[in-house]
Structure 1
Amino acid sequence: MSDHKARPFLRALTVAGLSCALLLPAGAAFADAGFRKWVSDFRNTAIQNGVSGATYDRAFRGVTEIDPVVLEKARFQPEFTAPTWDYFDNRVHDESVATGREMARQWKPWLDRIEKRFGVDRYTLLAIWSMESNYGEILKRQDVMRSVVRSLATLGYGDKRRAKFARTQLIAALKILQSGDIDVSHLSGSWAGAMGHTQFIPTSYQAYAVDMDGNGKRDIWTSVPDALATAANLLAKNGWQSGRTWGYEVVLPAGRKFPAGSMSLNKWAEIGVTRANGKAFPNGSEQAELKVLDGRQGPAFLMIKNFSVLKRYNNADKYALAVGLLADQIAGYGGLVRDWNRPFTKLSFGERQELQQRLSQYGYYTGKFDGKIGSGSRAAIIAFQAQAGMQQDGHPSMEVLSRLRKN
């Protein structure tokens, strides 16, 4: 479980709210002294919750200051609200599909065993791996990965809104160290404490972690089999239905309103809802709920049981749908019949990288050429559009790339 249960709470914090919550004495020296006192005092709390003094002391050896990057990450709230197509374009694209297929070949023997043991299909697990850590590439980035102990202690001390969550996760992380599954030098994660290839928060690791490779350690940081099996275990224990999909893209009859809640696929068919690929629903008795994430002009979906199970990983419709769509494409099924309601000509992943490179050449962009369009890329696009006399919408469009190529 990535930091799925915590994410909706974590995202809710506003800049103003954190400013009020972050009650640190003036001056870095005083702040560090206050943090060191908090670490010293929290030792008793950890011991009362089953953490040995030796484990605590080992975990906090050398941790004398808060991590300012963690507080900055917590403080930052992007002003740009991503439209639906932007979320999916950054996650379900030709590069993530191609890499997923390569990973399916590379890890086939282990995926065979994981499927047999847990009943969760490999393509769903590969899609989760992609969504959570870009197939492990994020774990190689020192600018992203941080000490879980220091990060959670920073939040537990310096952020009143997250303090309860962070302290609970910190005790769980200390117990992971105490178990011997990982040593303190490798206990790394995101700024909010999500760990490993499949980004589990410590309490979720405790609930679902699996030693799939049989080496005596549940190592989701360096063992891909352990990480994928842990994700499979979470889905299986939350009711994953083996051999079934997550849902169906559908076509809605024009000029009709639809009931809220779920009903059988047969009932949906009776009121004129059909599969977008023209095929019949395989099991008409299954209960399904209608989801339209991009308005009536975008694609529509009937979601069945496994969609709700995916939301136990991250309780967001967009996340669960992105996993489902990416899994289908890795498996060799086609993409959407009706694309997202995108107000420009879409770029391929490679073209998005080219867009970033060309913006960099002209001095508009200083970030990575990763094909992911975030706030930095959008700001660069807007700056170029302003200079070129184009509409300043920040979209990564073929229209912008064509103008850059002409320049």
Structure 2
Amino acid sequence: MRDKKSYSFYGKSTKVPFFVPFIDKSDILEMKKTLDSTVLTNGPKLKQFETAFRKITKAKFAIGVSNATAALHLSLNAIGIKRGDEVLVPNLTFAASANSIILAGGTPVIVDVDETMNISSNSIKKAITKKTKAIMPVHFAGLSCQMDEIKDIAKANSLKIIEDCAHAIGTKFKSKHVGTIGDAGCFSFYPTKNISTIEGGMMITNDRKIAKSVELARNHGITRTLMNRYSEGKPWEYDIREPGYNYRLDEVRATLGISQLKKLDMLNQKRKNAFVYYNKFLSGINGLSTPAGLDFKDHSCHLYIIRISKNAKINRDKLYESLLKKGIITSVHYKPLDTFTVFKEKAKVRGKLVRSKELFKEILSLPLYPNITKAEQDFVIKVIRQNLV
């Protein structure tokens, strides 16, 4: 274990928290420099962050926003989703995926996932109707969806693709960074993510029209940036052609993003090392399945998810409780969309969602963060083995 015998995690003393954000002295120093400046929003740091993100993903355009939900919302608006339009979304994802569709005026159509916990291509094919306008694949836990299949389906049915990449900075599909394969890709920088701006998001695209729409809409639809308004002519002279939102990413969080991006390869490698270590000592336990066999080279390793089958000595919930008693925080990603009241009322379901319902009963996300120690992982492994072996 670390020198520190316990952590404070949302008011509870724990031995192994579910996550520990990685923000170091260099991050804090850079943020302090920005706080000492006169420009705290709509400034040069945001542009630098967008440029750095564009280079990493090889996207033509990158637009920083306040969070990934905002990125999804604006992307859906940009491709023209309106009232009555249907967007296909997997049942096993965070609520933001479906919420963004409703915010854009569309209807989420919930479909099943496959064994990888990613959206099922067969479920997509069966769910398409005349009202279907787009597909929202979610690269779950950092593993890319089968984008070739999804692109073929989209092309055959004249559908747009908005990639939910909240888990997937660093994830690639056939050498292409996710988010650049569909019409737009949306990333999250929440504290649990592979890099963090505390709160924040990014939309990437190779489509100039989508980029321009998102860029305008994130700042009330104003046609001139703050920097442009105060450096060229009268600052009050601008136009607003479409209604927009306050979905800006401020300079302090953009500064943190720049600093964090420099560490991305290191942070992702630490996660991969922890993945491999868990796999080594959890594989072969009766009734427990690990995410073995994945290509970690192109996987962001955002979540380490085990499955506890009916053949195990105890079920998933009892294992969760046992780990909790020992001071180990785990979680489940996610409660299926079709179980929430809002989506029962505002979404549609296509198919029986058999796979996602089965998975929900079995999955458990273990503690995973860049600086997790082998001693901490050993403790998690020990408690799991005590319960299942």
Whether TM exceeds 0.5 here: the answer is no
TM-score range (shorter-chain normalised) is under 0.3
The alignment's TM-score, normalised by the length of structure 1, stands at 0.24
**Larger helix proportion of the pair:** 1
The alignment's TM-score, normalised by the length of structure 2, stands at 0.24
Which structure carries more relative contact order (alpha carbon 8 Å, separation 6+)?
2
Higher Rg: 1
**Larger strand proportion of the pair:** 2
